[in-house]
Amino acid sequence: MAGIDWRKLYATNQAALARAGVRPSKGLQLAALRTPGSRATSPAGVERVSTAVTSSQRALVHVPRRLDATQPAPLVCMLHGCTQDPATFAAATLMNDAADRHNFVVVYPGQDRRRNAQGCWNWFLPDHQQRGAGEPAAIAGIVGDLIAPNSQFTIDPGRVFVAGLSSGGAMAAVLGACYPDLFAAVAVHSGLAYRSATSMGSAFDAMARGREGADLQDDAALPGIDRNARRVPSMVVHGTADQTVAPANAIHVLRQSMIANHLAAPETCNHDAEDPTSSWRGQSDGGHPYTQSQWTDANGTLTHELLMIDGLGHAWSGGAAGGSYTDSHPPCATAAIWAFFATTSARAAGG
């Protein structure tokens, strides 16, 4: 938002992490990203050039210790927010703990501070809103390296997901729109809809008020809709007290995804944001009240989910106490997002 002192926010984040004793999980590794024709080697401490970018692109990868390397595993791509980095985001969201419980791999791409001094993903610039270019291509390249046949990781290409917070949430929406053939589902936490802004100024406006124009009223707004069209289930998580990214943006992300899925699968996906298949109120002990709504397609497959959390600000819900941009009170966004990913992929596969 306009007037934010990013240096002060970064210092506050680091101080909060230090007070809480939050450290990256021991399972974090530096991803080994292949160059065309190169041989895969151990990821620990190795940096290589991604096939999708011209500069070196690094990411942290978490592999559960008990993961069966002979069985293809799901992959969750996690995109951090402004002033964060892969390590602090991993520690704050506790996604690695979920990965250990449910046996999936997590990759945390990191924004190059030369692209954005505050570490934000540039979701609001046209150069980073299209397939095959900019930051979307860099992130897709990292994922592509991990799921490639000659990768040392055994990943199920049909269970690759992306989630993000704030600018990372907005970039997750970009990836869902630009790479529907790569990502099986997307989760946007406190983020914004694809192309809800095309400049820094319009980004501040969208953050403050949302933008209805992001609803994708025609297929021209969807890159590669003819060649790469595929339904991409989406989950949206947002706090009603978010003063950085207005809650109105949550509905815009949801509506946009519904329109995109209708274009990709008109026979089965025809949803109305005002008419969920089911909706309920909940509250855990010591947690925030919330409203959880779900939409299933004509085959009964969960396709959209909205988790609106009363009183939550601009923070990852249910994250590590004292973590960077976290609220440690339930509901747990990490658990809800993984449950959505697991459910949508299982039902789509007939499981």
In whole angstroms, what is the distance from residue 108 CA to residue 85 CA?
A: 9
Q: Give the DSSP letter string of 164-209.
A: EETHHHHHHHHHHHH-TTT-SEEEEES---TTS-SSHHHHHHHHHH
| Superfamily per CATH, domain 6-31+57-348 | Alpha/Beta hydrolase fold, catalytic domain (3.40.50.1820)
The answer on pLDDT for 351 being more than 80 is: no
The answer on pLDDT for 22 being more than 70 is: no
Tell me the two tokens of residue 150: 């000659």
Tell me the two tokens of residue 249: 């943006």
At position 86, the amino acid (one-letter code) is: P
Give the pLDDT band of residue 50 (cuts 50, 70, 90): very low
Residue 84's Cβ-count burial label (10 Å; 0-12, 13-18, 19+) is buried
Which pLDDT tens digit goes with each residue over 241-295?
999 999 999 999 999 999 999 999 999 999 999 999 999 999 989 999 999 999 9
The predicted model scores a pTM of: 0.85
- pLDDT value, residue 58: 78
Over residues 22-35, the mean pLDDT reads 39
Give the pLDDT band of residue 184 (cuts 50, 70, 90): very high
Burial per residue of 174-204, b for 16 or more beta-carbon CB atoms within 10 angstroms, e otherwise: bbbbbbbebbbbbbbbbbbbbbbbeeeeebb
